[in-house]
Structure 1
């Protein structure tokens, strides 16, 4: 039986007092690659924020990477986030330090203390994303594609069960987008990591087809439950 990394049942998602998504029933299993699509303002970001504990789950039941979203508090949310990796469109790298220092900062912030283990982990994730020789560079000295690879390396630091990628190809040219997609897909396959990727890029979706979750009219439509031509 497949291991569910995300399981939401009868969930209503609110942004403040506004009901954004209603009656969400969703299961995403270990190693799955899933797209999250929908027009701006239809709830994509609210869903992602619920999954990483930024929006509280008020109604329904939800589990992510073994954590009960209903009982997550400000004290326990850091533990949830250690089991996740989040990849942003705008990289959110610290510009006042080099790549190596960026990654070490995250490890220290998530409880690592052994310097040798930290060094080994940093080398490991940089090798995975093909940038082992770039640890000394500052983010502004790198191309957009390289910065996105560093962002992915950062997401891999704590060997996450789940990576949430928010428009990871949004600011990249088609060739670089291809490279990032191939990297994400290989991470999903090679490490059995679940990836949920929010995107507006239908060229990417058509080139690398996978299950699609679509937010529209306050609901989530799942291509796993519909004929592909209807989503």
Structure 2
């Protein structure tokens, strides 16, 4: 039986005082690739933020990478984050330092101290995303696709069980989006890393079909690719 990386039971998701998703129930296993779709404002980002501990869990049972989200506090959130990788639409790279220093900053922030081990890990993740020769580049010297690859490399630094990706192809052209999707799907398959990807990119869903969770009318449910692509949320 595959390991459950996410388990959400009888859960209500809030954005501040507003209830945005009600009675949420789903599980995601190791190595599973899952799209999260739905109209703007239906709770996708709130759900992701709850899963990685940015929004508090008020009601329900949520387990993520072995952590009980209901018991998280400021002391335990960093330990949860070490088990996760988070990929953003706007890359969120530190603009005043090069690729190597961006990745080194994350390793130091998550407790790494040995310079040799840090060098090895940075080289390893850059090789996985096809950027081993560009560790000296500054973010502004790179294309959008290259910056997104750096963001993915950053998400891989602590060998996560789970990657949460919020619109990772949203700012990319179709060709670059396909390259990023090929990279993400291979990471999911080869490393048995579960990936949950919020997206509005229906070309991506059509080209790389997988399980879909859809937010609609305050609820979340499994949907099929044909229906979602036809509706063009």
TM bin, normalised by shorter chain, reads over 0.9
Q: Distance in 1 between matches of 2:225 and 2:176?
A: 27
Secondary structure of the residue aligned to 2:70 is coil
Deviation at 1:221, TM superposition (A): 1.3
Q: Distance in 1 between matches of 2:132 and 2:168?
A: 21
**2:93 maps to 1:93:** yes
Q: Distance in 1 between matches of 2:123 and 2:99?
A: 11
Q: Distance in 2 between matches of 1:166 and 1:17?
A: 23
Alignment of 1:195-210 (within 5 A): 195-210=195-210
Secondary structure of the residue aligned to 1:10 is strand
Q: Distance in 2 between matches of 1:167 and 1:16?
A: 22
Q: Distance in 2 between matches of 1:230 and 1:176?
A: 25
Alignment of 1:56-71 (within 5 A): 56-71=56-71
**Alignment-derived partner of residue 231 in structure 2:** none
Q: Deviations over 1:45-68 (max 9, x none)?
A: 000000000111111101000000
Deviation at 1:38, TM superposition (A): 0.5
**Alignment-derived partner of residue 116 in structure 2:** 116
**2:145 maps to 1:151:** no
| TM-score, scaled to structure 2 | 0.96
**Alignment-derived partner of residue 80 in structure 2:** 80
Alignment of 1:149-188 (within 5 A): 149-188=149-188
Moved over 4 A (4+): 227-231
Secondary structure of the residue aligned to 2:14 is strand
Q: Deviations over 1:83-136 (max 9, x none)?
A: 000000000000100000000000000000000000000000000000000000
Q: Distance in 2 between matches of 1:62 and 1:31?
A: 19
Deviation at 1:230, TM superposition (A): 4.9
* Number of residue pairs matched by the alignment: 228
Alignment of 1:9-20 (within 5 A): 9-20=9-20
| TM-score, scaled to structure 1 | 0.97
Q: Distance in 1 between matches of 2:121 and 2:111?
A: 13
TM-aligned CA distance change 1:193 to 1:128, over 3 Å: same
Q: Distance in 2 between matches of 1:230 and 1:91?
A: 30
RMSD (Å) for aligned C-alpha atoms = 0.9
Deviation at 1:229, TM superposition (A): 4.8
TM-aligned CA distance change 1:205 to 1:230, over 3 Å: closer
Deviation at 1:41, TM superposition (A): 0.3
Q: Distance in 1 between matches of 2:80 and 2:112?
A: 16
**Alignment-derived partner of residue 107 in structure 2:** 107
Structure 1 regions of 5+ residues with no counterpart? Answer: none
Q: Distance in 1 between matches of 2:226 and 2:189?
A: 26
